[in-house]
Amino acid sequence: MTEHSRATAIEEGWANNGAVKLHFLRSSGCTPGLTPIVFIAGVFGSAESYRTEIEFLAPRQCLAVSLRGQGKSDAPRSGYGLADFAADIHSVVSYVGLSGFVVMAYSRGVPYAIRYCSEHPQELRGLIVGDYPARLTKPTREWGERVRRSLPVDPDYSHVIDALIDEAQDTELWNELECLDFPVLVLRGMQQGALLSDQDASLYRTHLSRVEVIDMHDSGHELWKPDYSAFLRIIEAFLREVDGTSA
């Protein structure tokens, strides 16, 4: 927990997208009237990655999702296309019964979240994009080997890397942003390793009617470094703005 964290109870639960069992964490004892937030992690992230955010944002309702192949969720042998991940998000949100919320997605979770948001814009009040373009790219075999070396991937989940490579298709999602008539916050790392280019930041401005791009000058792709508290305060400030517009 950070120095700004508030004590809150965190519950875990499970939802199903067809035969795939999906794990999630959510806060309890939430204050009505505060806009909920749904967290979507990057590749091999998980719901557990967002415990600090959930604690910090209490008593706001928070939901953190482990998509297929992540955390405690099922890791089927196949079913790792864009549509599958977007459907995972929808399945968990529907099961929990959320409406009028903000989605925050990070890294490769961003295109999955954009597809979900474009299919269900009426359910949302906002979107936070974490250092990634509105684009899904087909990973290379070299990427797969780097992931195996750099991430603590459970050997039982190694097939997920191969499935991501085999099933992903290069997909531009910029036009899908144009149906999102709610505030969007784009967080962009500016140090080595960041994944959102000047051109892509400009494309967010072009395709969104209500967008703010924040350049995080001291951060690379890991936006919460070097100052986790500052990162959390940016998220909280955006949510408060959404609270005000929906009051």
Selection from 96, 97, 95, 116 nearest residue 105 by Cα: 116
With a cut of 70, say whether residue 5 has pLDDT above it.
Answer: no
CA 17 to chain centre: 18
Question: Which of 5-14, 103-112, 127-136 is predicted least confidently?
Answer: 5-14
Kindly report the pTM of this predicted structure.
Answer: 0.94
Q: So what's the pLDDT on residue 234? A: 98
With a cut of 80, say whether residue 176 has pLDDT above it.
Answer: yes
Q: List pLDDT tens digits, range 34-66.
A: 999 999 999 989 999 999 999 999 999 999 999
CB 95 within 8 A of CB 15: yes
Average pLDDT over residues 218-227: 98
Helix (H) or strand (E) holding 236: helix 228-246
User: For residue 152, what pLDDT band results from cuts at 50, 70 and 90?
Assistant: low
Q: Encoding tokens for residue 137? A: 């790219």
Q: So what's the pLDDT on residue 246? A: 61
Q: So what's the pLDDT on residue 74? A: 96
Beta bridge partners of 106: 130
With a cut of 60, say whether residue 182 has pLDDT above it.
Answer: yes
Domains annotated for the chain, with CATH where assigned, are 10-242 (3.40.50.1820)
Distance set, CA 86 to CA 61, 81, 83, 118, 119 (Å): 21, 9, 5, 10, 9
Query: If you average pLDDT over every residue of the chain, what do you get?
Result: 94
With a cut of 50, say whether residue 1 has pLDDT above it.
Answer: no
> Can you say whether the dihedral through the CA atoms of 40, 42, 46, 51 is positive or negative?
negative
147: left (phi over 0), alpha (psi -120 to 50) or beta: alpha
